Amino acid sequence: MKLKDEVNKRRTFAIISHPDAGKTTITEQLLLFSGAIRQAGTVKGKKSGKFAKSDWMEIEQKRGISVTSSVMQVDYDGHQINIVDTPGHEDFSEDTYRTLMAVDAAVMVIDSSKGIEPQTKKLFQVCAMRGIPIFTFMNKLDRDGREPMDLIGELEDVLGIDAYAMNWPIGMGKNLIGLYDIYNQRIERNLNDETANEERMVAIDDNGEAIGDFDFKASTIYSQALEDVELMQEAGNPFDEEAIMNGQLTPVFFGSALTGFGVETFLDAFVDYAPSPSPVETIEDEKVDPLQEELTGFVFKIQANMDPKHRDRIAFVRICSGAFEEGMEVKLTRTDKKIRLNNTTQFMADARENVKEAVAGDIIGLYDTGNFQIGDTIYTGKNAVQFKPLPQFTPELFMKVSPKNVMKQKSFHKGMEQLVQEGAIQLYRTWHTEDYILGAVGQLQFEVFQARLLNEYNSEVTMEPMGRKMARWIKPEDLDPKMSSSRNLLCKDRFGHPVFLFENQFALNWFTGKYPDVELESLLETE
């Protein structure tokens, strides 16, 4: 098949959600519908005892690589879908954010009884910064949740994104009659799995009423849903494909990942609307066309091996253009070194395979012996390409760190420098005393840092938690060292830029009240 056809088939996305909203369950449904697995419960392997992903977890554990590295590739309805996992819970780290740099779209799964939760909001903000399309799935409709109107309103109020309901629940929980499918202009009845599609789907007439003789038409739940739909269509946002593509409008789908109800309808619309790989910008502000022949790609994540017996790592590369073939030679822009890509993996639903071919939009894992850093660009062709650096994310957790053995300062510094450069963790120094402070977005980053420093650099460290802080950057010209107090510790980042670590929101408010003309910044881009 031609490169163009292959690339256009790709849909590379991440699922953003708060733990327990249903990310795993919806992923599993996707695998079911695509035929990659045959039985629900296989991804988690909790219920059925037949595993897909859990087998794979064991392989990963043997290799000492955590399952956080998962990227799944499946065929769905003629499309090649790449789901890039965004680790949550205790695995939440900067990698979770960086993963979002490697996708073309996001699916936001929300628990409809809870609404928007903190982790969803954080991940949403990163997607919004990139302006990628975000598709919302309001999950757990089989349970009583919040009013749909309320949930839609919350998207707009809390996240600041316009919403367009693609379908509307007719009831919920035990009284879930079905979905009023605005997008496909039909009603999807909540019947059991075995029911044929023809029976499940009911056409609607010009007045928006279900055509045919159905008991549910007498129900107030049904008439309420019709009223809501009418109201949404009159007063809500219009459907605007361009706004969806720019991430300004999110299409919202209701459903239940657990029962599968509404999932297929969602997925069908998703693969239709989600973009194929888009051009990627270089530091010269040029755009690399995904359909160009020459291969380009960037490293967005390095998964270190926590097992001291195996020193290898996996560098995750998002292919931005062209086609990859096993054994091909590429150049690494940062070092100008040639590297032969022999040992590469691609990630399927239930296994890792040696990848022979991949194209723009795909993600491949390269076994790395220390050549790669996060943000590295690889390319073939005559002209060197360097993509824009990946952004750095405002850390929230901080730790004072020092070498246990003062005689081993050298290995401590070397290890620290390399791990920071690699993007495993962020480093700060106190402004006056130059103490080392590590910053992370998740606890796991500290643990990985400590283990790697010991295993790879033979340096044992003492870590002293400083807890949660709010890091805010200040322009050097606005800085007066007297501004620093015990509640806003003045530090410098690794580029020497001044940054305050505020104890809490109260301390931050106090500061902005006292210095109203001083502009503070959070999410910062690397230079």
Instruction: Please tell me whether 458 is known to bind a ligand.
Output: no
Nearest one of 348, 354, 347, 273 to 316, comparing CA atoms: 347
What minimum distance in Å lies between the beta carbon of 165 and ligand G4P? 18
DSSP assignment string, 403-458? ESSGGGHHHHHHHHHHHHHHTSSEEEEETTT--EEEEESSHHHHHHHHHHHHHHH-
Of 44 and 494, which has the nearer Cβ to ligand G4P?
A: 44
Q: What angle do CA 285, 287, 290 make, to 5 degrees?
A: 160
Q: What is the distance between the alpha carbons of residues 73 and 11, in angstroms, rounded to a whole number?
A: 10
Structural tokens at position 463: 């870590």
Instruction: Please tell me whether 382 is known to bind a ligand.
Output: no
Instruction: Please tell me whether 19 is known to bind a ligand.
Output: yes
Q: What is the distance between the alpha carbons of residues 493 and 439, in angstroms, rounded to a whole number?
A: 10
What minimum distance in Å lies between the beta carbon of 257 and ligand G4P? 4
Site string for ligand G4P, 15-34 (x = CB under 6 A): --x-xxxxxxx---------
Strands 426-430 and 488-492: antiparallel
> Does the protein bind ligand G4P through residue 44 (CB under 6 A)?
yes
Q: Which residues in the 130-149 window bind ligand G4P by CB under 6 A?
A: 139-140, 142-143
Among 46, 311, 337, 340, binds ligand G4P (CB under 6 A): 46
Longest dimension (CA), the chain: 85
What minimum distance in Å lies between the beta carbon of 38 and ligand G4P? 18
What minimum distance in Å lies between the beta carbon of 443 and ligand G4P? 17
Q: What angle do CA 324, 291, 340 make, to 5 degrees?
A: 20
Instruction: Please tell me whether 88 is known to bind a ligand.
Output: yes
Can you state the angle between helices 23-34 and 263-273, rounded to 10 degrees?
Answer: 80
Of 16 and 378, which has the nearer Cβ to ligand G4P?
A: 16
What minimum distance in Å lies between the beta carbon of 120 and ligand G4P? 10
Instruction: Please tell me whether 497 is known to bind a ligand.
Output: no
Instruction: Please tell me whether 20 is known to bind a ligand.
Output: yes
Structural tokens at position 357: 């071919």
Instruction: Please tell me whether 157 is known to bind a ligand.
Output: no
Structural tokens at position 362: 């795909």
Q: What is the distance between the alpha carbons of residues 301 and 446, in angstroms, rounded to a whole number?
A: 16
Q: Which amino acid is at 177?
A: I
Instruction: Please tell me whether 522 is known to bind a ligand.
Output: no
Of 108 and 437, which has the nearer Cβ to ligand G4P?
A: 108
What minimum distance in Å lies between the beta carbon of 28 and ligand G4P? 8
Of 99 and 380, which has the nearer Cβ to ligand G4P?
A: 99
3-state DSSP assignment of residue 41? coil
Q: What is the distance between the alpha carbons of residues 332 and 340, in angstroms, rounded to a whole number?
A: 10
Instruction: Please tell me whether 112 is known to bind a ligand.
Output: no
What minimum distance in Å lies between the beta carbon of 365 and ligand G4P? 22
Of 119 and 276, which has the nearer Cβ to ligand G4P?
A: 119
Of 192 and 369, which has the nearer Cβ to ligand G4P?
A: 192
Instruction: Please tell me whether 21 is known to bind a ligand.
Output: yes
Of 25 and 82, which has the nearer Cβ to ligand G4P?
A: 25
- CA dihedral sign, ordered 176, 179, 180, 185: negative
Query: Where does 360-460 show beta strands of DSSP type E?
Result: 363-368, 377-379, 397-403, 426-430, 436-440
Of 256 and 426, which has the nearer Cβ to ligand G4P?
A: 256
Structural tokens at position 439: 């910053």
Of 83 and 319, which has the nearer Cβ to ligand G4P?
A: 83
Q: Which amino acid is at 303?
A: Q
Chain centroid to CA 511: 33
Site string for ligand G4P, 88-127 (x = CB under 6 A): ----------------------------------------
Structural tokens at position 21: 């909203």
User: How many residues of this chain bind ligand G4P (CB under 6 A)?
Assistant: 17
- Inter-CA distances, 468 with 104, 395, 398, 503, Å: 31, 9, 6, 7
Instruction: Please tell me whether 89 is known to bind a ligand.
Output: yes
What minimum distance in Å lies between the beta carbon of 19 and ligand G4P? 4
Q: Which residues in the 219-258 window bind ligand G4P by CB under 6 A?
A: 256-258
Instruction: Please tell me whether 87 is known to bind a ligand.
Output: yes
Of 41 and 275, which has the nearer Cβ to ligand G4P?
A: 41
Query: Where does 271-425 show beta strands of DSSP type E?
Result: 280-281, 287-288, 296-304, 313-321, 323-325, 329-332, 337-340, 344-347, 352-354, 357-359, 363-368, 377-379, 397-403
Q: Which amino acid is at 235?
A: A
Which residues does the annotation place in the binding site for GTP? 17-24, 85-89, 139-142
| Residues in touch with ligand G4P (CB under 6 A) | 17, 19-25, 44, 46, 139-140, 142-143, 256-258
